Amino acid sequence: MKKEKKNKPSKELPLGFADRQEKELLVRDFIISNIKEVMTKYGFQYLETPSFEYSDSIGKFLPDKERPDEGVFSFKDENKWLSLRYDLTAPLARYVAKNFLEIPKPFKRYQLGAVWRNEKPGPGRFREFLQFDADFVGTKSLQADAELCVMISEILERCGLAKVDYIIKISSRKITEELFKKININDNQQKLTALRALDKIDRLGWEEVKQLLGEGRKDKSGDFTKGANLGKQNIEIIEKELKKKLPDTEDLKEVIKIFKNYNFSNFKFDPSIIRGLEYYTGLIFEVNLKFDVKNNKGQIIQFGSIGGGGRYDNLVNNFGNYDAPATGISIGLDRLVYAIMQKKEFKLKRLKPVVICVFDKNFMREYINLLLLLRDAGISAEIYPGESKLKKQMEYANKIQSPAAILYGEDEIKLGKPTVRNLITGNEKSIEIKELINEIKKII
RNA sequence: GCAGCAGUAGCUCAGUUGGUUAGAGCACUAGUUUGUGGAACUAGGGGUCGGUGGUUCGAAUCCACCCUGCUGUACCA
């Protein structure tokens, strides 16, 4: 006989979703406030678009046609399909196309928000995550691209990173394009596989990448990845060309010149960065952290880039006939938060409330008077939110890391002198009410 | 998706060649004399041993499948 199973609701989270606790949220808020300040300083508009869009608005016109309908959360509303946005760029393109006649040209906007991807999550990757995007729409000027790099580096440094902690890698799609033309690769599939292989140079090294350009490679776990099947000669040419490659395309020369004017030097030309496969059209860049990031077991994990961006001159155009060359940057905020939490010991402890202990409900009026006094002085305070013995109240105050407890029982009330217990040192002091604010301020 | 490893209490784990009512530490709850947290002591609650099916007199332990997690790899708008 089986016991009857009680159908309790599941306490598990859906795959790829996470609760976020205060410790993390405070760091996130800190980063976001830096982002907002810097973005305002750089003259970007703040924009918010809805979480849902019509599926065709964000799917159909995507340049990556390999899997246009996969990976998004969708449902049918009446008879139209809606999808949760999977990035902030597609909604931007839609917004620009919709409001093209009214908005300034060029249009500069930044946006912060969650995006959703319906796919199996990986290490440090979720199905719901926060992105920060900044874009210029409607300008071909490489001044815009340069500003994005300068701006993200200012944000990172404000968040506590030093120049040695990160690097902006730059390259241009034109380099690989020319290279493929030179060795006569025309098969699109082969091109894509080759691009993916080249993308991995810094992680795997040339030897392994050459395997991927050729027949394929086995990874650490023994899994085999098929390669691009290029001829040996062509592989040699690619290696030789890229190794000696200089940033000599027009766009790279130009943007490096602009960096110089900004006195910005924390970048590196790296022909191996590739980014989104069919998306970018010219200059591309990637923001990489240079310090080790560990998981909660203390193992160092492959963290890779926290974001990047580049020029996409055709996206907005897909919505209509507007010519809107654009460039943008996109940062994965959760990963940045995770990395920064490890890099710096953050002293972002939120001020916890002073706890006023409740001896007797009949004294509530006195307690509220003290409470208002403290709060009016801008001090976080609360009356113990429950009905328990004093011991429990002290345990509670300790648990929430309250700086001080105020004891105001019958004896104290008669004297009009509450007792302030410093919960860090354990010292107690009986003081006049008018001294209360000063006393608390001394503690916190 | 592919590969390797893992899944026993909220957390970290132990569990002998399959054998009574499955354990420890930490955490939690209640006490250790009436109004005092972080230490100590006492007592207590909590687990269909990831799930389902199978082998067996008997399964946390063996087998199969599935689920979940970690790490790598692939994909990534």
**For range A162-170, the mean pLDDT:** 92
Instruction: Decide: A329 and A134 in contact? Cβ < 8 Å.
Output: yes
Q: What is the per-residue pLDDT for A350?
A: 67
* Helices A188-198 + A232-243 axis angle, to 10: 50
- The whole-number pLDDT of residue A2 equals 28
Q: Which residue has the higher pLDDT, A304 or A308?
A: A308
Predicted pLDDT at A323 = 77
Burial state string for A109-148 with b = 16 or more CB within 10 A and e = fewer than 16:
bbbbbebbbeeeeeebebbbbbbbbbbbbbbbebebbbbb
**Residue A123 confidence (pLDDT):** 63
Nucleotides of chain B touched by protein CB (<7 A): 1-4, 28-31, 35-38, 48, 68-77
Q: Residue A173 CA to nucleotide B65 C1', Å?
A: 47
State how far the Cα of A98 lies from the Cα of A325, in Å rounded to an integer. 16
For residue A302, the model assigns a pLDDT of 64
State, as a whole number of angstroms, the distance between the CA of A242 and the C1' of B37: 65
Using DSSP, state whether A117 is helix, strand or coil. coil
**Which chain A residues 296-325 have CB under 7 A to strand B?**
297, 299, 301-302
Same fold, A22-343 and A354-443: no
pLDDT tens figures, A67-104: 444 678 877 777 777 888 989 998 998 999 899 889 99
Residue, of A290 and A59, whose pLDDT is higher: A290
Complex ipTM over 0.90: no
Which helix (H) or strand (E) is A103 found in, with range? none
Cβ(A403)–Cβ(A354) under 8 Å? yes
Please give the structure tokens belonging to residue A54.
């019509």
pLDDT at A5 over 50: no
- Distance in Å from B35's C1' to A290's CA comes to 56
| Average pLDDT, integer, range A41-69 | 74
What is the CA A377 to C1' B33 distance in angstroms?
40
User: Tens digits of per-residue pLDDT, A189-236?
Assistant: 788 888 888 888 877 888 888 888 888 887 776 677 888 888 888 888
Q: Which of A424, A419, A422 is nearest to A435 (CA)?
A: A419
- pLDDT value, residue A61: 42
Assigned CATH class of A354-443: alpha beta
Specify the nucleotide whose C1' lies closest to residue A294 (CA). Answer: B71
A121 touches strand B (CB under 7 A): yes
pLDDT (tens digit, 9 = 90+) per residue, A112-125?
999 988 877 766 67
Which positions 343-362 on chain A have a beta carbon less than 7 angstroms from any atom of strand B?
359
> What is the DSSP secondary structure assignment for residue A57, as one 8-state letter?
I
Residue A24: what pLDDT?
83
- Look at residue A34 in the predicted model and tell me its pLDDT: 96
**A9 CA vs B10 C1’ separation (Å):** 17
Tell me if the domain spanning A22-343 has CATH number 3.40.50.10310: no
What single string gives the DSSP state of each residue in A299-354? Answer: -EE---EEEEEEEESSTGGGGSS----EEEEEEEHHHHHHHHHHHS----PPPPPE
> What pLDDT, on a 0 to 100 scale, did the predictor assign at position A3?
31
Rounded mean pLDDT, A169-188: 86
Domain extents for chain A?
22-343, 354-443
pLDDT of residue A6: 43
Distance CA A255, CA A271 (A): 15
Query: A325-370: per-residue pLDDT in tens?
Result: 999 999 989 888 888 887 766 665 668 999 999 999 999 999 999 9
Answer yes or no: is A72 CB < 7 A from strand B.
yes
Estimate in Å the CA A204 to C1' B5 gap, whole number. 22
pLDDT at A300: 67
pLDDT at A66: 42
A395 nearest nucleotide via C1' and CA? B37
